[in-house]
Structure 1
């Protein structure tokens, strides 16, 4: 989900990379205590917007350099967006350009998973942008600036 705070001179898109088991704004009843892919009245009042409603991935996302999601590798199962292993899917990017925002998501990686969320991606430069790293740290021995939760190869995570 995303909270848009107003105007900023910086505009960006967000992209998720391949091989990502993505559960944007997933709150599972009983586990997290909330309804799946919904906003509370307080979140709505604060300006949060769902970028994935648990059903329609095409509404807010598309493949880079495409008008829609063209690969068959992205599927929705039980309100969770999943990248199927071994099936081409392509990177996802938001349809809308955002400024001055907060982006929040919940995610899960399978064993040996390696992925990231890029933000502040410039349209004219392809998929170049800042990346929040998500990797199975138990299976991949990475340097501190390449572990889960880092600003990939720029800043290590705070422990």
Structure 2
């Protein structure tokens, strides 16, 4: 068993830190692997758990080559003060009539300092199962941020009842 160093989300930087991570990331849907990589980036941003931005997050961005299923762009877009405009995608599940929409995003033209994640994909922690080095992550509280909460995270994570007025 690997002992992980605690990460306090209140100590994550602003502007967010973008760096390569060697962690093994997997995204599965009903047992089917959607994405699998050890060549991702993570963005650590004060008051979140990995994924979106605004106030404290830990977001992972996976290379498009890690996907086993093609994506389709949707009309949704959002703006991050640090990374720029995000593009969202839908994913049609093979051997099923299911389509999951707007739970994956990327930055087609990221802002200065974040060009390394151009075209990389970030997944909300649901409806799929997301794993970091074999640990199944918990979704960040609420549905706005989409962060991946792992056991190593400490502190108040944005979206919980305790952070409503932060």
TM-score (normalizing by structure 1):
0.29
Larger radius of gyration: 1
TM-score (normalizing by structure 2):
0.28
Looking at both structures, which has the greater relative contact order when contacts are Cα pairs under 8 Å and sequence separation is at least 6? 1
Structure having the larger proportion of residues in strand: 2
